[in-house]
Structure 1
């Protein structure tokens, strides 16, 4: 008879492997915001105060979603906390229950989550140095009095409920102390541009998609318009509905829309800025734009179905 032997993965080794999944800084922030949207948030704030020392620099991603009690927070901090085959809510942009942890720890050594629900503050932290010391999956549960993020807690208490995800100790962004803040601010600027495109349908408040607002240090993030729908010169064709399986209705259909953009010479500077076209040509962004529940997950290129050509440079599908 076979002997059964429990063989959990080495905590430190698995954490380091997860950190090498290839997240960019802006894609990692977007994955955290997916959780905010799933939590029903209508407002999301990115907060990063002036940096005196790279070791104390942090980024807080704060939302006014439904928040978590102690047990819900512990479950959310668990790796693979959701089964991918489990039925999800319509606004849930996750799948494997890994995004919050893998995205965050790809950028920093300490992930702190502060959540407000039913008037109670709950705090949990994954600290890679603690995992290395303990050689175990040691989740830290903190009292609100022992955290230095009292300002973030005060900001959170403006809402009846919500969550703040805090990144600290950015070992992947290390530069000389004198240049760290410049590099970090550049990352935040690129992130704002990325979010304005990826979540543009949420920021616009498009029909059947929940409207959200986003701010970076108090400055509103405005939506991009990759199809220049606001331009009279842009052509939007009739949508095609591709029904899945044998369902009698089109409720869960894949919706395909095609857009023909105006020539670049006809675009105003305002159009180019709204498209996010700065420094790029129309030809570079031609092709498929794929959304999942309103969230842009792929843009540009033809996914191997055809080549990028000048003849199709104005086409977006």
Structure 2
């Protein structure tokens, strides 16, 4: 007769194997903040010190008793089959532990609720030594000696999460530099994924006492942004409502200086056209179309906000990091119809500008544009010189600069040029010397803040009408950059 035998997972091996589940530093911190938002926090303080090597995340949420805290510290503390509160941002009951251990080896959690403090520590080195699921429960004196306890003690309720022993970051020769870099990425990430909470003043997030700002991917405060009519679709098997709100965003010439800075700063975050999917108003995936439409059908200006509830996480196949998903088959057709309608409106906006007819891969100083059987010449706004000026000018100066460019475009002496060409007159070209071109390029590179951005810019100059023939000079500068 068969029997049942309980196989308890090896504690150290299981936790160590899950440390590479795919979190980045910024997505791990965002997962901790999900818990704070679920606990009705209105303020979150993220404090860090590269010398003392810690990160603490303090919230003013509802806090936890000792029994609640120990349950939260347990792996799989909440079933995916549990009915969750409508505002709950959690998923598997794993986020606190897996997110933390993906970045550090020591996790401390201290909480206050109804004037009672509770605290506990997971330390992977202790787990490895004992090979057991051992958590250290702190006494009152140990709680008072935890990092930044004094800030928690000022609250009526709240929780502080502390990360220490950053073994992965400490593998680098320059811990401080890497630590500061991942914290900068984290600030950028939180500004984006929690932007609706920040935008609506429902949440404030501070980095070492400095308030962070929100990043709105739709630029709703720009008068040129076109919000389109909202749609609602239903997942019929669960009777779950999905809200869809398309936006047609402005093209670059109509963005403010701040908005252009945002696009440049968040270039690696891919704030381009596509779906922006929110789970309980928290952004979890963005900037792509999830194979709902072919790439060649897409326009440059359509962004579609999709709000899904937490009751259909399994249908969307949302992972433990809450950063990857798949669109349910039952919704794909409805979503595709909405997308195609929005793309059509985006294309009409974009095509109104005319159709470029430059045939090769060079970046020209002027774009030749056909529209309504007429030809016009516009300055190429992707010119590195123009882009750098726009990035460094105030909005008032940009308005003046844009007026100047418009005057140049509208008052090209085309009739005179056409007459001179028809008369076979030679048009004089003023060509700069290599030394002059060298100085121009070095001036451009000087305004780049990182070595990577300098190399990216230098590579783009190879395809510039102005510099493409200066191959030897570009090679020389590339060698200088590479040391």
Task: Give me the TM-score of the superposition, normalised by structure 2.
Answer: 0.60
1:116 shift after superposition: 0.8
1:11–1:137 CA contact under 8 A, matched in 2 = yes
1:306 shift after superposition: 2.5
Instruction: Output the aligned Cα RMSD.
Output: 2.1
Q: Which residue of 2 aligns with 1:183?
A: 178
1:114–1:121 CA contact under 8 A, matched in 2 = yes
Q: Which residue of 2 aligns with 1:3?
A: 3
Q: Which residue of 1 aligns with 2:247?
A: 259
1:246 shift after superposition: 7.6
1:225 shift after superposition: 0.9
Alpha-carbon separation, structure 2, partners of 1:148 and 1:119: 14
Alpha-carbon separation, structure 2, partners of 1:91 and 1:286: 28
1:279 shift after superposition: 6.4
Relative to 1, partners in 2 of residues 1:311 and 1:75: Cα closer, same or farther, differing over 3 Å?
Answer: closer
1:167-316 equivalences under 5 Å are 167-175=163-171, 179-205=174-200, 211-245=202-236, 252-273=240-261, 275-278=262-265, 280=267, 285-308=272-295, 312-316=299-303
Task: Give me the TM-score of the superposition, normalised by structure 1.
Answer: 0.90
Residue among 75, 78, 98 paired with 2:74: 78
1:186 shift after superposition: 1.1
1:147-186 equivalences under 5 Å are 149-150=145-146, 152-175=148-171, 179-186=174-181
Moved more, 238-247 or 189-198: 238-247
Which runs of no fewer than 5 residues in structure 1 stay unpaired?
none
1:282–1:314 CA contact under 8 A, matched in 2 = no
Residue among 58, 61, 68 paired with 1:62: 58
1:287–1:302 CA contact under 8 A, matched in 2 = yes
2:45–2:208 CA contact under 8 A, matched in 1 = yes
What is the CA deviation profile of residues 60-83 of structure 1, one whole-angstrom value per residue up to 9, with x for unaligned ones? 011000101110001000000111
1:283–1:313 CA contact under 8 A, matched in 2 = no
Alpha-carbon separation, structure 1, partners of 2:243 and 2:24: 29
1:29 shift after superposition: 0.2
Relative to 1, partners in 2 of residues 1:3 and 1:300: Cα closer, same or farther, differing over 3 Å?
Answer: same
- 1:41 partnered with 2:29: no
The structure whose Rg is larger is 2
Count of aligned pairs between the two proteins: 304
Of structures 1 and 2, the one with the larger relative CO (CA 8 A, separation 6+) is: 1
Moved more, 193-202 or 115-124: 115-124
Larger helix percent: 2
Relative to 1, partners in 2 of residues 1:283 and 1:48: Cα closer, same or farther, differing over 3 Å?
Answer: closer
Residue 257 of structure 1 aligns to a residue in which SS? Answer: strand
Moved more, 285-294 or 275-284: 275-284
2:58–2:159 CA contact under 8 A, matched in 1 = yes
Relative to 1, partners in 2 of residues 1:110 and 1:148: Cα closer, same or farther, differing over 3 Å?
Answer: farther
